[in-house]
Amino acid sequence: MAVSSTPMGLTHAAHVGISVSDLDASIAFYRALTGREPVVADETMHSVPFGRSQGLSTAKLRYATINLDNSLGIDLIQFQEPVGERTGGAANRPGSMHLCFRVDDFDAVYRRMKEAGYDFLGDDYTFLEGEVTPDAALGTQVAYFNDPDGTNLEIIRPMGGFAS
């Protein structure tokens, strides 16, 4: 697909949508992760035009929204028609994404999450000299985990001028 290099000015995110296989299980997971109740808990939609707007023949779905402090919403969407297949969630697959949560006390949050039973994909990691450019990222701490459907999630404590 050829896209013009003309800037479109899209600089404010409104929400991230995550397709899930079980809305109730995903609400429970994200409620525990964020400590937030959904602002929308079990809405439904059935629309052929809306489905077509997403490249589908129809869209019958249930969804919920959990808002974060920075006004970003996490929309959890369970497609009932058509039901999709899991992507597998591997971080290196083109088209995969991850949602990153910024934390102030990385070690405390990481420890609490491990004690609560979150399975991290690997060990936590701190950016080291010679591995990352610019040097402003040195000391940034990260750890990755998945939600129940394999969506990649991250916690981060950025250092210096590193933007998360």
**Structural domains of the chain, with CATH:** 15-81 (3.30.720.120), 98-157 (3.10.180.10)
Predicted structure pTM score: 0.87
Q: What is the pLDDT of residue 99?
A: 94
Q: pLDDT at position 10, please?
A: 83
What pLDDT is recorded for position 71? 83
> Cα(31)–Cα(17) distance, rounded to whole angstroms?
16
Residue-level pLDDT at 61: 93
Check residue 162 and give its pLDDT: 56
Give how far the C-alpha of residue 2 lies from the chain's centroid of Cα atoms, to the nearest Å. Answer: 27
Nearest residue to 146 (alpha-carbon basis) of 43, 21, 62, 59: 21
Encoding tokens for residue 111? Answer: 């420890």
Counting as low any pLDDT under 70, the low residues of the chain are: 1, 134, 160-164
